[in-house]
Structure formats: structure tokens, C-alpha cells
């Protein structure tokens, strides 16, 4: 279990306590990966690192995706968000180009949990956007922590990465934890009528790097909360 890290300037700082398990093969529809479970010793959350067995090209930083757990999108294929489609897109790129996807448990609904996410859906169906719904429930707009994720990346030797994300806040949080993002690789997937308002809110109110094809996806229902 890690208790400290050593940044580039040599000064020691407390590390986030995580422990790891064995490395195993993980054959998938996207090809074969290697997988390793990690436990956040502070919260008890169990995370999963899914890595390409092939290294990136010489001189190219590995791709890394910090994927927040989303049961509705990842498992049930919900169109209220783009989470499941981003997951598939990231796995394909990582298998092809080399890198790691960290599947972060406990991040459901940007950290508010599954039951509260469904409550937020109800408010969205009453007219609130994804940010307003959380606020109406007295919950944070984004309550996720990336301390464990940064520690896991550090222990895996992934301190200079290409980050698969549309969210600049992830880059800022990782930088604060000593992980250098050399490039942001966007993971925008085609928007849908069902998630367009959700994505527009993320772009306009949460500074996500999205272009959005409004013509191809006119809003018909209220979006997801993740």
C-alpha cells in the first residue's frame, strides 16, 4: 500500500492509499486486454485498470481514459448520456494505440450515486438541466475525486499521458496530483436527440470540449445526469 509519492522536485508528499491485485488476461469484443483491480483504502471503492498488452509507439505517451462508472449507460446502453458509447470508443483506441482505461467505481452520477441519479432524472423530466437537478437535490454538481486514480496511474508508471476526455477539469485535477497530461484526446461521440440537452449543458456550464451536431440530433427528451 502506498503512503507517499515523490514528485519531480524531489519533495515528498502524502500519497493516496491504494492496493492492487494480480494482473490477468481479459479477452473482450475489442480484443485482448490485461486487467488489474485496485482498491481505494480510504473509501473501499474497487477500481479496474484495463490495459492494452501492446505498448504505444516509441516516443508516444500512452492513452489513458478515466471512465466514471455509469450503470445506466455502460450496462443498459442508455441514450440519456454518452457514457457507454465513450467507453466503447476509448477501449477501441486504447487497444489499437496502447494505454490504459481506469474504470472508476463510486463515480455514478458524477459522484452522487445511483439512487440520487435517478432522482435527478425525475427533475430533468420536470424541466431542469443536469446541473440544476443536482442543485435542487442539494448535491454537488460534480462530487468525484480523482486522488485514487492519480495514485493508481503513478504506481503503474503512467505519469506522462494522453488523456482521453472532453473534460478539462480532469486534466487540471491530474496535474495537481503529479500526472502530466501531454495531450487531450477528445472522445466526442455522435450526439442523440435523447442526450443533446445534457451535452449542451456540459459544454456551456461545465466547459466540456464538445462541438455537437445540433442538426443531426434535435432534442426530444431530457438527458442523463453523469
Active site residues: 142, 144
Give ∠ CA 213-217-221 in degrees, rounded to 5.
Answer: 135
Determine how many CB atoms are found less than 10 A away from the CB of residue 204: 12
Determine how many CB atoms are found less than 10 A away from the CB of residue 194: 19
Determine how many CB atoms are found less than 10 A away from the CB of residue 13: 10
Give ∠ CA 107-111-113 in degrees, rounded to 5.
Answer: 90
Contact (Cβ atoms closer than 8 angstroms) between residue 185 and residue 167: no
Contact (Cβ atoms closer than 8 angstroms) between residue 61 and residue 183: yes
Residues 6+ apart with CB under 8 A from 44: none
Contact (Cβ atoms closer than 8 angstroms) between residue 185 and residue 82: no
Contact (Cβ atoms closer than 8 angstroms) between residue 62 and residue 158: yes
Pairing type for strands 160-164 and 180-185 reads parallel
Determine how many CB atoms are found less than 10 A away from the CB of residue 96: 13
Q: How many residues does the chain have?
A: 226
Amino acid at each position: 500500500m502506498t503512503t507517499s509519492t515523490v514528485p519531480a522536485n524531489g519533495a515528498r508528499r502524502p500519497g493516496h492509499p491504494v492496493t492492487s491485485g494480480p494482473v490477468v488476461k481479459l479477452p473482450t469484443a475489442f480484443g485482448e486486454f490485461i486487467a488489474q483491480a485496485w482498491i481505494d483504502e480510504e473509501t473501499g471503492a474497487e477500481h479496474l485498470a484495463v490495459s492494452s498488452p501492446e505498448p504505444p509507439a516509441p516516443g508516444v505517451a500512452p492513452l489513458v481514459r478515466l471512465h466514471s462508472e455509469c450503470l445506466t449507460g455502460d450496462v443498459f446502453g442508455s441514450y440519456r448520456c454518452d457514457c457507454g458509447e465513450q467507453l466503447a470508443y476509448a477501449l477501441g483506441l486504447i487497444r489499437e494505440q496502447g494505454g490504459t482505461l481506469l474504470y472508476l467505481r463510486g463515480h455514478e452520477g458524477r459522484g452522487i450515486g445511483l439512487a440520487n441519479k435517478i432522482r435527478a432524472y425525475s427533475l430533468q423530466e420536470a424541466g431542469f438541466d443536469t446541473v440544476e437537478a443536482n442543485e435542487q437535490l442539494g448535491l454537488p454538481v460534480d462530487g468525484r475525486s480523482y486522488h485514487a486514480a492519480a495514485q493508481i496511474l503513478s504506481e503503474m508508471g503512467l505519469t506522462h499521458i494522453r488523456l482521453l476526455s472532453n473534460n478539462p477539469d480532469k486534466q487540471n485535477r491530474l496535474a495537481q496530483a503529479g500526472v502530466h497530461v501531454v495531450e487531450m484526446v477528445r472522445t466526442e461521440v455522435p450526439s442523440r436527440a435523447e442526450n443533446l440537452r445534457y451535452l449542451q449543458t456540459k459544454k456551456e456550464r461545465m466547459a466540456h470540449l464538445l462541438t455537437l451536431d445540433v442538426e443531426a440530433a434535435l432534442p426530444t427528451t431530457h438527458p442523463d445526469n453523469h
